[in-house]
Structure 1
Amino acid sequence: MTLTSPPVLAPESCVVHDRGSARGFVDAHITPYANDFEREGRLPEELLERIGAAGLWAPFLPREVGGGGLDLVTLGHIHEEVGRGCSSVRSLLTVHTMVAWALQRWGSPAQRAQWTSALCSGAVLGAFCLSEPEAGSDATGIQTTAVETGGGWVLNGVKTWITNGQRADLFLVFARTADSIGAFLVPRSTPGVEVRAIPEILGTRGSMLGKVSFRDVRLGPDALLGPSGFTAGMMLTGTLDLGRYSVAAGSVGIVQACLEACATYTTRRTVGGTALRNLQLIQAKVTDMVTDVRAARLLVGEAGRLKDAGEASTIMATWVAKYFASTAAAKHSSEAVQIHGANGCGPDYPVARLYRDAKVMEIIEGSNEVQRITIAGAAYREMNL
């Protein structure tokens, strides 16, 4: 797949640094091709390079290591805009963000020196390996093992539904050790690593999902990320929270894309000589989209502000934002298809893709059912009940 080159931009305008520049990048490089990405089942290398040139792989990391030094509120804005254009692209940013953040937060100086710059530029792309065929994303049910040897570790197990698994150069793999759960940096080129594509999925079809097998993969002692024995309680919680935040922002983007698609379609489409936009039922549906996208955006923004302030309450704020935004995305993408009628079921409009992608948002990074249990439990604890 070859992308049509847009007009050449001045060097200072190439780097994405806020919502406006993100929207411009998405409108030029992503939105026009999103349905093509879905049909191809992958993202073109040319786009991955452009994402790197725009500084989108790890813009939240410090400038001195190659990042953009952006705060997490701004990261949410960027991931919303990318999600508005294509959830498959946003999914790659999400998992890469999780790997880069974990490395910066918990990596040793040697690990950061080896990987951080390449992760920032996109020379190395990351993937987050937690989910397993039987355990799903339940960390307590992990069966992948890492056995410590005199010279390092031996890794065995299978991870599935791995976003960017087909393309990633570096896997962050969670495995059960003798006394806890550890996180390991595993280069794709390591002997014993095998990747199989997962085709024909419901949504985010361009996110290059893979099933990754590790058979007697020998790793050095420096493969372990962070101190042994603390991963489940600290690194895993923090990394998943950041991923959940990105999914919440991307879900807001889906609702915004539905709103824009429906406003355009109902302005052009007529019935009995009257534009659809003049029908009260259509106006009611559009009103609900406007209301929910603004509410979801505020919830994501609050979670981002709490992260930037270092507040522990950001964890629950992110759960709430992700639950609300993903539910809204599922609801309004369904309405968007309904508004488009038969056209909404075909390949010529974006709403069918938005509908498929929105369903995925209700499942990944904590299903809505799990979120309900978590949010309700927190409410009872806050009231000391």
Structure 2
Amino acid sequence: MTASTALADAVAFARSAREEAGGWDRRGAIPTDVLDAVAGAGFLAVDVPAEHGGLGRSPAELGELCAAFGGACSALRGLVTVQGMVAAAVLRWGDREQRARWLPALASGARRAAFAATEPGAGTDLSAATTSATPTVGGLRVRGRKLWVTFGAVADVYLVLAALDGKPVAVLVEADRAGVTVEPIGGQLGMRAAHLANLRFDDVVVPQENLVGAPGFGLSHVVATALDHGRFTVAWGCVGLAEACLDLAAAHVGRRSQGGVRLAEHETVRALLGRDLVEASAARRLCEHAAELRARADADAIAETVLAKYAAARAASALSEHAVQLHGAAGCAQDSTVGRFFRDAKVMRIIEGADEPAELRLGEYALRRPGRSR
């Protein structure tokens, strides 16, 4: 499959998915046949190397796929995100046997994956995680609880952040092992179709070979790789969401009239759309720049991805709010697409916590690069 074919297929898939996404949102789940179709089309493994069963595409191509999915259904984009997070961590930090065992299954969708890091008392401060992995006969004994796990309700394996002898570790835990309890949750503000779940690990024994990376590197290396990959795909998903909101708003004001005057004739409306176009375009340029840096393994790629995600999430939030406002009461209806986008965009703003931690990272990055230009 060529890159252009893969992207065209993703855009077509996303276009058809938007028609169904409202129903998924109301029911709180993407249907199994849709999950299988995403996997069967290779969309879960866009950037996984071909030698491991993926399409071996560039960061930019992965980004465009996530933008297409984000403009249809954030939960659908979330499926690509979490699968990619686990695959990226195994690809970068797994040994030869782990890559051979896990990557083809993740690439094909034979194994659905989820990322389990957030805890009741830790939130986004992952260094405060208390889930433990202790040596035992047969491998490691995992004990703890994880919250808000995207696609956790239907995953076959979880990448779990834990502590081994006080050192952060990342462990692959299969969902069907004794002691794993999955608690599906629903009714959240956004991402309602993303099969979210809370997890409990009650003395779950996994083999030693399920440990990814060396003890002490679980957070700073393995989980950090997963988070960076996730941040990149979320950023692109927000670009797609923002652009979809702009298109929907422009189409609505072009056909909607009040007092015999089309909304598009109002200068304030056109000015608002102009500002939205600037925000969406700027977010896309930042994502494209991050993709370019990632493609050549530039040292600034991680920081530029933080920048892109920050800007894209804010753009999605602002443009979805404006789209709802311009649609009026119709934008607040239960089956409103812009209303769903508005709720999803709010989740994208807080998916890594408050804005301030990202701003601090970006401030530190700004201090390291005075006088530099793109």
TM-score under structure 1 normalisation? 0.93
Q: Which amino acid aligns with 2:147?
A: T
Asked if the contact 2:156/2:175 (under 8 Å) is kept, the reply is yes
**Aligned: 1:55 with 2:38:** no
Tell me how far apart the structure 2 counterparts of residues 213 and 195 of structure 1 sit (CA, whole Å). 7
Pick the aligned partner of 2:291 from 270, 294, 304: 304
Q: Which residue of 2 aligns with 1:129?
A: 116
Asked if the contact 1:43/1:207 (under 8 Å) is kept, the reply is yes
Q: Which residue of 1 aligns with 2:65?
A: 78
Q: Which residue of 1 aligns with 2:172?
A: 185
Distance 1:14 1:374, change over 3 A: closer
**Aligned: 1:17 with 2:20:** no
Pick the aligned partner of 2:304 from 317, 336, 347: 317
1:229-268 alignment, distance < 5 Å: 229-268=216-255
Asked if the contact 1:17/1:70 (under 8 Å) is kept, the reply is no
Distance 1:228 1:15, change over 3 A: farther
Tell me how far apart the structure 1 counterparts of residues 335 and 212 of structure 2 sit (CA, whole Å). 45
Tell me how far apart the structure 1 counterparts of residues 175 and 213 of structure 2 sit (CA, whole Å). 20
1:198-213 alignment, distance < 5 Å: 198-213=185-200
Query: How far off its partner does 1:279 sit?
Result: 1.5
Asked if the contact 1:270/1:276 (under 8 Å) is kept, the reply is yes
Asked if the contact 2:3/2:61 (under 8 Å) is kept, the reply is no
Tell me how far apart the structure 2 counterparts of residues 16 and 360 of structure 1 sit (CA, whole Å). 31
Pick the aligned partner of 1:159 from 134, 140, 146: 146
Query: Aligned to 1:249, what secondary structure does the other structure show?
Result: helix
Number of matched residues?
A: 371
Query: How far off its partner does 1:16 sit?
Result: 5.6
1:58-69 alignment, distance < 5 Å: 58-69=45-56
State, as a whole percentage, how many aligned pairs show the same letter.
Answer: 37
Q: Which amino acid aligns with 2:242?
A: V
**Aligned: 1:148 with 2:135:** yes
Q: Which residue of 2 aligns with 1:347?
A: 334
Q: Structure 1 residues 232-241 or 179-188, which shifts more?
A: 232-241
Q: Which residue of 2 aligns with 1:271?
A: 258
Tell me how far apart the structure 2 counterparts of residues 107 and 21 of structure 1 sit (CA, whole Å). 31
Alpha carbon RMSD of aligned pairs, Å?
1.7
Asked if the contact 1:16/1:54 (under 8 Å) is kept, the reply is no
Q: Which residue of 2 aligns with 1:361?
A: 348
1:89-100 alignment, distance < 5 Å: 89-100=76-87
Asked if the contact 1:63/1:69 (under 8 Å) is kept, the reply is yes
Query: Aligned to 1:362, what secondary structure does the other structure show?
Result: helix
Q: Structure 1 residues 302-311 or 102-111, which shifts more?
A: 102-111
Q: Which amino acid aligns with 2:110?
A: A
Query: How far off its partner does 1:15 sit?
Result: 9.4
TM-score under structure 2 normalisation? 0.95
Tell me how far apart the structure 1 counterparts of residues 271 and 195 of structure 2 sit (CA, whole Å). 37
* Consecutive unaligned residues in structure 1, runs of 5 or more: 1-11
